[in-house]
Structure 1
Amino acid sequence: MSETPKGILDSVVKDPVRVRMAPSPTGYLHIGGARTALFNYLFAKHHNGKFILRIDDTDTARSTDESMHEIYTALKWLGLEWDEGGDKGGPCGSYVQSERKAIYDGYIAQLLESGNAYHCYCTPEELEEIRAQARADKQTRSYDGRCRDLTSEAVQRFVAEGRKPTVRIKMPETPIRVDDIILGSRNIDPATLEDEVIVRSNGMPNYNLTSIIDDADMQITHVIRGTEHLNNTPKQIVIANALGLNVPQFAHIPLVLDSSGRKMSKRHHGDLVAVNRYREQGYLPEAMLNFVVRLGWSYDDKQEIFSVDELIGKFDLARVGKSGSVFDIKKLEWLNSHYINQLDIAARTDAVIPFWQEEGLLNSSVEDRDWLEGIVEAVGERLTTLQDIVPQTSYFFTDAFEYEPKAVKKWWGNSEEKRENTRAILTNISQILEEIPTFDIETIEAAIWRYTDENNIKRVAAMQALRIALTGASFGPSLFDIVALLGKNEVLKRIPKAIAHL
């Protein structure tokens, strides 16, 4: 009987823990990658270990420096600082795979000399014929191993033809045991595995070879990654055993799914899975961490909010589930709103200023800090993202806004009689505001209420008429906060403009 995941876990946390995040710099860091990084980070910190960032860029055609730096930026924004690798370096030499080819070449030579690997001279056309025949014969292997025992004459002939060989690892004839901290232990039938290509015809080693070599060279003790890598695990174990390398403990975490149960991916979900998208829209890193950690890990049904220190203290791979976790954007929005509201007004203002500036509402030099903090305080707990500050407050910075048609129809009126009544209300309020001696909230409120009550005008009708005149909308912060923050001159300029629109 195989060991339980907990039994496996109990036996593998004795040595100093070293884990790694190994993204390929072929695009942005996605939500699944962020979760992998977070789980590795928390596991390392929980066990006083090391979190290593390695760049798996052997796919030279698609790897870019821009993507690599974007990954750095996203991880640093999340607060997932690595101990070694990336742009920090460390005791294991280069942590960028494209700079480690000489190391891989030595191991490849060792595999060829020991007979555990061989050159394959099959052309793409021949390989397609082999695959087609395997499908017709309902074979699980799509390569028949025909180059395993080539004669020297055959090799010379292929070389003379100009064929560029790949290198394949020989799969064993006995079952391959895979121990997984989360999924448990299982034996893989070797009949289901073909001889894996470990070096491409251009001489570049592939993922399964470089990954397990680097894990051993960097003394990685645990490989925590998504279940999409599950099929790679027995192949990597075979390579490690053939080279006499230590095999790390594996922990495959569940997929991140959309509401329909489909895997979240760049191909199907686009920017929805891009971590930097959320940073640009004004999500806070604390909210992202709290959201991402619950995509597979659970503590209890009572606690929703965790500090990073709490997560480090509580994180345990035994609490990571096997089934996929659903990406719920509403949950992320709730968390983000919570963390925004936890910021004091000064910190919240610091956080939203870049969004005003990006929209061109505010220049780079912030001249009236108190006024900006007043706007943020007036908005209160209405922000789901920091970016929401722009549509909710743009009228403070400019009067170049449209009057919402539905609001106009409801509160200004859809008949000439009603519009004339609104003109009168706005005209009278304008005169009142022009005459009040002190333009503060209490004085403004008292003066307007006195006018509405003495003239038997519904307060809500007067407030909404004025709100639309000043902001173009029928909702938002307290009207009296808006009036005070805009100031007398701006208010007295906007009311006549609204009357003219009527």
Structure 2
Amino acid sequence: MASAATPTGVRVRFCPSPTGNPHVGLVRTALFNWAFARHHQGTLVFRIEDTDAARDSEESYAQLLDSMRWLGLDWDEGPEVGGPYAPYRQSQRMEIYADVARRLKEAGHAYDCYCTNEELEERRAEARAAGRPSGYDGKCRTLSDEQVAAYRAEGRTPIVRFRMPDEPITFTDLVRGELTFTPENVPDYGIVRANGAPLYTLVNPVDDALMRITHVLRGEDLLSSTPRQIALYHALTELGVADGVPAFGHLPYVMGEGNKKLSKRDPESSLSLYRERGFLPEGLLNYLSLLGWSYSADQDVFSLAEMVAAFDIADVNANPARFDLRKAEAINADHIRRMEPKAFAEACAPWLRAPYAPWAPEAFDEAAWQAIAPHAQTRLTVLSDITANVDFLFLDTPVEDEASWAKAMKEGSRELLRTAREKLAGADWSAPEPLKEAVLAAGEEHGLKLGKAQAPVRVAVTGRTIGLPLFESLQVLGRERTLARIDAALEKLGG
């Protein structure tokens, strides 16, 4: 196999497996690779590791591409883009892996291993009992032709193992500094299954070598495989498949509740959850970038362009980072405030219609929405919050929230509402301020400050104790509908 021409510049890769919905840890890895590539005017290769037919699915593959597009993390080579090292799906590269495995065996870098799982486990147990490392003990490293023939006569089908060197492997991790792994802790490992299917331990480094990847930025959970891959890279370089060993940087764990590593099974890890709630891609990526990296000591909110300009892998912290949903929401809220008003109004559109909206499609009033949108933009944490904040405009009657009713409708609320209705009926509705003055005056007549006076009005009109700025909301709703809702509340209170 001839090696491809070596490209210049930084080349990194994002290579997920299409199994299930993408999770935030995976997105953080994609983001750091993307930012690193963009900072260095390099190349981001998007590669799909789909050699596990039992777990991979086309649905998950489509979700991966859709998620990357939604996030705005564009790639320079890969699916839908192509590139000089296509194909970029491992399931379409099987002949390449088989050829490399054959050449590794011929050169003495790999060998057939006939040990059964039962034999391996028995020897591991003995090693553990004796206090020795329990990895593979090299039994099949130097089998004679007679031993091989005997195993084959028994019907055994071998796996292929890579032969690790007998000296320590040292490398400088871009995040963690210099690391050394001793031979007894990195035994020979399998690269091809007994059925001929290549394992991740082979296909990942082979693709990185052939695609001329210069930097491998990945999760800390893969750190233990790095010395094995470095040894394999040296062998691939000898064969002319690789041009040397890439630089490695292992990103810190993302921790969830109870200081446990966030896993795919944790609900808060699913990217789809944040899309459905209405996180902005920019807001979510801003927060995820802070899981192990920081823009500056006094600034947590920044754009992707600002991140790209500042991103340095040397600044990534090796310590685990804890996922904090409240902080993620707060940062997303800041990004909502930064949006252009027109862009904000358009971004809310999915949550203003079925299946999210509880009102009939014909009840939606575009003019009312455009009037209230600027006030909503200052209050939302996520875009899906918009539905409950504006439903009072498009429903015939406000939602019935008994908790809000009980909280706002105290003794004296009926009298306060009567006075407020009278003053609102005679107020100027061309601006919010006269409406505020009307409710303030009603409160003063009953010995109440504005905060106490407006609570019954808000619940009568919107159904909730919390919502958008009240007097701007009343103006958009209009005099007739506002007074009708106060009348309905008075009737419920006994007239």
Report the TM-score, using the length of structure 1 for normalisation.
0.87
Matched AA of 2:82:
G
Q: Does 1:394 align with 2:385?
A: no
Aligned residue for 1:205, secondary structure, equals coil
In the alignment, what sits opposite 1:311? 307
Aligned residue for 1:59, secondary structure, equals coil
1:231 Cα deviation from its structure 2 partner: 0.8
In the alignment, what sits opposite 1:487? 478
In the alignment, what sits opposite 2:3? none
In the alignment, what sits opposite 2:458? 467
Say which of 203, 214, 225 aligns to 2:196: 203
Q: Deviations over 1:448-492 (max 9, x none)?
A: 556666677765554322222112222323332222222344334
In the alignment, what sits opposite 2:378? 381
1:153 Cα deviation from its structure 2 partner: 3.9
Aligned residue for 2:180, secondary structure, equals strand
CA contact (8 A) 1:254 1:321 kept: yes
Matched AA of 1:286:
E
1:143 Cα deviation from its structure 2 partner: 2.2
CA contact (8 A) 1:256 1:295 kept: yes
Question: Aligned in 2, Cα 1:43/1:456: closer, same or farther, shift over 3 Å?
Answer: closer
Matched AA of 1:206:
L
Question: Aligned in 2, Cα 1:455/1:116: closer, same or farther, shift over 3 Å?
Answer: closer
Question: Aligned in 2, Cα 1:168/1:474: closer, same or farther, shift over 3 Å?
Answer: same
C-alpha separation between the residues in 1 aligned to 2:362 and 2:94?
Answer: 49
Question: Aligned in 2, Cα 1:335/1:370: closer, same or farther, shift over 3 Å?
Answer: same
Say which of 12, 22, 35 aligns to 1:19: 12
Question: Aligned in 2, Cα 1:181/1:499: closer, same or farther, shift over 3 Å?
Answer: same
Aligned residue for 2:293, secondary structure, equals coil
CA contact (8 A) 2:365 2:394 kept: no
Task: Using the TM superposition, name which of 305-314 and 16-25 deviates more.
Answer: 305-314
1:308 Cα deviation from its structure 2 partner: 2.3
In the alignment, what sits opposite 1:143? 136
1:443 Cα deviation from its structure 2 partner: 5.5
RMSD across aligned C-alpha pairs, in angstroms?
Answer: 2.8
In the alignment, what sits opposite 1:249? 247
Write the mapping of 1:270-289 to structure 2, written as runs, cut at 5 A: 270-289=266-285
1:165 Cα deviation from its structure 2 partner: 2.0
C-alpha separation between the residues in 1 aligned to 2:322 and 2:101?
Answer: 41
Q: Deviations over 1:125-153 (max 9, x none)?
A: 22222222222222213322222233434
Write the mapping of 1:169-180 to structure 2, written as runs, cut at 5 A: 169-180=162-173
C-alpha separation between the residues in 1 aligned to 2:212 and 2:421?
Answer: 75
C-alpha separation between the residues in 2 aligned to 1:233 and 1:84?
Answer: 24
In the alignment, what sits opposite 1:116? 109
CA contact (8 A) 1:399 1:494 kept: no
In the alignment, what sits opposite 2:4? none
1:87 Cα deviation from its structure 2 partner: 2.6
Q: Deviations over 1:284-330 (max 9, x none)?
A: 12222222222222343133333222222221122122222222223
Structure 1 unaligned blocks of 5 or more? 1-13
C-alpha separation between the residues in 1 aligned to 2:287 and 2:383?
Answer: 17
Question: Aligned in 2, Cα 1:452/1:44: closer, same or farther, shift over 3 Å?
Answer: closer
Aligned residue for 1:491, secondary structure, equals helix
C-alpha separation between the residues in 2 aligned to 1:410 and 1:272?
Answer: 32
Say which of 87, 90, 102 aligns to 2:83: 90
Write the mapping of 1:47-446 to structure 2, written as runs, cut at 5 A: 47-243=40-236, 244=238, 245=242, 246-258=244-256, 260-267=258-265, 270-357=266-353, 358-361=355-358, 368-399=365-396, 403-413=400-410, 418=411, 422-427=413-418, 429-430=420-421, 441=432, 444-445=435-436
Matched AA of 1:377:
P
1:218 Cα deviation from its structure 2 partner: 0.3
Aligned residue for 1:187, secondary structure, equals strand
Question: Aligned in 2, Cα 1:406/1:365: closer, same or farther, shift over 3 Å?
Answer: closer
Question: Aligned in 2, Cα 1:167/1:401: closer, same or farther, shift over 3 Å?
Answer: farther
Aligned residue for 1:231, secondary structure, equals helix
Matched AA of 2:264:
K
Question: Aligned in 2, Cα 1:405/1:166: closer, same or farther, shift over 3 Å?
Answer: same
Task: Using the TM superposition, name which of 79-88 and 328-337 deviates more.
Answer: 328-337
C-alpha separation between the residues in 1 aligned to 2:40 and 2:372?
Answer: 45
C-alpha separation between the residues in 2 aligned to 1:193 and 1:448?
Answer: 75
> Would you say how many aligned residue pairs link Structure 1 and Structure 2?
481
Question: Aligned in 2, Cα 1:364/1:471: closer, same or farther, shift over 3 Å?
Answer: closer
Question: Aligned in 2, Cα 1:238/1:285: closer, same or farther, shift over 3 Å?
Answer: same
C-alpha separation between the residues in 2 aligned to 1:365 and 1:25?
Answer: 41
Matched AA of 1:274:
S
C-alpha separation between the residues in 1 aligned to 2:384 and 2:333?
Answer: 12
Matched AA of 1:104:
Y
Question: Aligned in 2, Cα 1:79/1:403: closer, same or farther, shift over 3 Å?
Answer: same
1:91 Cα deviation from its structure 2 partner: 0.7
C-alpha separation between the residues in 2 aligned to 1:407 and 1:325?
Answer: 38
Task: Using the TM superposition, name which of 215-224 and 285-294 deviates more.
Answer: 285-294
C-alpha separation between the residues in 2 aligned to 1:462 and 1:303?
Answer: 39
CA contact (8 A) 2:110 2:163 kept: yes
Aligned residue for 2:489, secondary structure, equals helix
CA contact (8 A) 1:51 1:82 kept: yes
Q: Deviations over 1:176-207 (max 9, x none)?
A: 23232222233321122221011112221111
Aligned residue for 1:85, secondary structure, equals coil
Task: Using the TM superposition, name which of 359-368 and 107-116 deviates more.
Answer: 359-368
CA contact (8 A) 1:118 1:168 kept: yes
Report the TM-score, using the length of structure 2 for normalisation.
0.88
C-alpha separation between the residues in 2 aligned to 1:362 and 1:350?
Answer: 19
C-alpha separation between the residues in 2 aligned to 1:292 and 1:361?
Answer: 33
Matched AA of 2:315:
R
Matched AA of 1:491:
T
